[in-house]
Amino acid sequence: MTQFQQLCYQTLKDKVPAGTVITYGGLAKLIGNPKAFRAVGSAMNKNPFAPAIPCHRVVKSNGDLGGFAYDISLKIKRLQAEGVSVENGKIVNFQSICL
């Protein structure tokens, strides 16, 4: 695991609580590298610590769910278990729950 991946995972775990989501770009900004949103996506795809490191909370900037290394229905199930509503592959009330 790279230092970048560790930074992504630790920041996500510490800064994005259950019931909220963050975009790939938002997480990149939090780690101090706003142009690294694609690298953040790659790190989330390789997350060996799910669900302890909640990569399911990272979504696209338009509220779409984005990818998920496992079955996308598992991402939806985990979000819904945390009180996040998903309809037609998008986060409901995205603006109000996105950090």
Active-site amino acid positions: 55
Handedness of CA 44, 49, 53, 54 (dihedral sign): positive
Kindly list the distances between the CA atom of residue 53 and the CA atoms of 11, 62, 70, 93, in Å, as whole numbers in the listed order: 9, 23, 14, 23
Contact between 12 and 58 under an 8 Å Cβ cutoff? The reply is yes
Contact between 50 and 44 under an 8 Å Cβ cutoff? The reply is no
Query: Which of 7, 9, 3, 97 is CA-nearest to residue 59?
Result: 97
